[in-house]
Structure 1
């Protein structure tokens, strides 16, 4: 009887497992589908921004093809895309991994960032979000960034003259000053570098990726205190204490200014032999 009972129990447990796995998979897919529909609901649209559909932005980038990647960083990848109306845009695909609560916080922070409107700040054109995706849509800057103009320009393109470099420096300073002095609450960039200073058709400086530190600065539903930034651009006091302030951005701006003037990288291993890998030591 004990043997028969053990056999019966094993068969029952196996059957239960066999039927429960498909049920769990179905439930997870159904839940994800409901979340996607929830976040696509028109009632979730932000007042100031266009809400792109779940399919519009993937279609604009050939479903996030690597051939359309124009930049990649700690917060995600940037893709060049063409919308159905023919306009050229830059689509920032943020790294995945947040909960429903995180999505609601993301929506709030996107609205906050969208209110920072200044000629020297990159204007957020729209967004898209689901339970698994967070996408930001910006105008595409045809002249790239300070980094690309300094170190990635084709030989046929003339280097930036000093008049243009001065205009870039002043424009970037105005944009950062607006984030610090005219936004409520104030926005600290926390990772200001040459790659974040974009250039429009007239080589006017446009500060990009502002607010991303705040948009990315949560895991699940609570705020993290991890230091964010790029080696060579992080202010020493921020690195040691984890406390960011306007001074954090001023330090990053100063490093960018040195790059703009000298053409050197903030961190360059080619200078290792001279013990001046960091631009501050160069």
Structure 2
């Protein structure tokens, strides 16, 4: 499957690029990157609809002020595109996320090697770093973990490196499944099962759910995720902006979760909640 790269240029990127990215994520865009003053967004070719893009909430207000262009990227060329721009990522001075062509660096608690194939989760996006930050605060030793929308598999890989013993990494994108499986092998992980499909196909309960997805899915699945957690289990979620924090929080607290805290990176949020009550 080839992808479309959408390029957006606006003279006032902050906070507009984050708002635009949030809107585009709700219409199936999978990855975003800011470089050289532009926002680049990526979507499968068969899902690209320029008119739908122009009618998203933020872009519809800025159409006469933004420059839009797009081009097709062949699957086999993505790694070359990505390698030319990729730099290692350090999170909380503890986790190094790097590519195979970067040298390993000393002084980090955890070293993760990621080779993306257009799958979300290279470590550069704020939401991935927010998720990693929350995970570093959890005790995952011996825990059962569900990673929803695994992308590159980076969060599932981190979960194993933090001691989780039984991890399911799920995605609805076959490309992400291929990519995450390769990254899991590169990182010598043995406790991760990769599944293609949605979470309603998983008949199991978990100690921890990791959900770095979009606002709409998070908002609509609070009750469903509640059923998939053991009592006292934790959900860590991101993929939404500060303006949506209250909506996401209420959708979970109204479905049996206790709000713990929320971390922020630019305009993005990462939230932690715990399932309360009895089975």
More strand by share: 2
Please tell me whether Structure 1 or Structure 2 has the larger radius of gyration of its CA atoms.
Answer: 1
More helix by share: 1
Does the pair score TM above 0.5? no
Report the TM-score, using the length of structure 1 for normalisation. 0.29
Report the TM-score, using the length of structure 2 for normalisation. 0.29
